[in-house]
Structure 1
Amino acid sequence: MSRLLGNRANEVIENLWLLVLRVSAGTFMLTHGIPKLLKLLEGNTGFADPFGFGETISLILAVFAEVICSVLIIVGAGTRLATLPLIITMAVAVFMVHGSDPFQRKELALLYLLAFITVLVFGGGKYSLGKYIKGN
């Protein structure tokens, strides 16, 4: 019981949790990214353009973050670097696109933002492709 309630870190559990967090957050984000990718491939480029880059460029950037970066996070390759576009995308969604919306409209993006910031801070963990390639 003291092991469960104690304050000592358990490296195995921490690394397993990072694996669960990475895979689940990345997979959940793919459910948002794949429809955007299909929309882009169909030529329907209507999308929010908060920075004035143009709807097509904004959509391409969102697809890159939500599809490519999510896959990198799921497998744990370049994990910290892959979180940056997702953190930016979620921050833009929360504070710019849905900035004046009620909390319920931005709640999911805030949860994703927190999950990806956590992965940025702690890295991919032991059970990641990056650790396997490095041999650490």
Structure 2
Amino acid sequence: MDIINLLLASDAGSPFNNAALLAFRVLLAFELFRVHGLKKFRLQNGEKEHVPNPLHLPDALNNCVASFSDTVVPVFLALGLCTRLAILPTIGVTAIGYFVVHRHDSPEVRDVPFMYTLCLLLMLALGGGTYSLDTYILTLL
């Protein structure tokens, strides 16, 4: 039960702070899905999005992790469902984008994966807040 509390329990200290965390969580999830997730469903110039593979993983695994991080994780994040666990793959993808894929790019290009990584690390530290399915599930246990 201690590990479940560690993973699910989250309280930003006041109703206002928890509402702010809810808004932050939902807006971050929406933007991640809108900007990156929808690319996984669209064809541009008749071709699917090219997903960089800097770790040289099998292409199917690389595409699966990237697609999961940009399409499924935002749903979990918006709902506050298993927030801390769910965002781990996306933290990995954005951090690799910052440290590996864009390491030689200008700060303007590196800024996007950096900001996503920071926001997701904040969510990892804070969890979903009291207005989340994590809190609801915890009250049922």
TM-score by length of 2: 0.80
Q: Distance in 1 between matches of 2:64 and 2:41?
A: 8
Aligned pairs for 1:59-98 within 5 A: 59-98=63-102
Question: Which runs of structure 1 show a deviation greater than 4 angstroms over 4 or more consecutive aligned residues?
Answer: none
Q: Distance in 2 between matches of 1:53 and 1:36?
A: 18
Query: 1:13 is matched with which residue?
Result: 16
Q: CA deviation at 1:44?
A: 3.6
Identity, in percent, stands at 29
CA contact (8 A) 2:40 2:49 kept: no
Q: Which runs of 5+ in 1 are unaligned?
A: 1-8
Q: Distance in 2 between matches of 1:73 and 1:43?
A: 29
Q: CA deviation at 1:60?
A: 1.5
* Residue 51, structure 1, aligned to residue 59, structure 2: no
Query: 1:3 is matched with which residue?
Result: none
Structure number with the bigger relative contact order (C-alpha 8 A, sep ≥ 6) is 2
* Residue 126, structure 1, aligned to residue 110, structure 2: no
Task: Write the letter of the residue equivalent to 2:19.
Answer: L
Q: Which runs of 5+ in 2 are unaligned?
A: 1-11
TM-score by length of 1: 0.83
SS where residue 53 of structure 2 aligns?
A: coil
Deviates more, 1:49-58 or 1:78-87: 49-58
Task: Write the letter of the residue equivalent to 1:26.
Answer: A
Task: Write the letter of the residue equivalent to 2:93.
Answer: T
Task: Write the letter of the residue equivalent to 2:83.
Answer: T
Q: Radius of gyration: which is bigger?
A: 1
Q: How many residues align?
A: 126
Q: Distance in 1 between matches of 2:111 and 2:129?
A: 26
The structure with the greater share of residues assigned to helix is 1
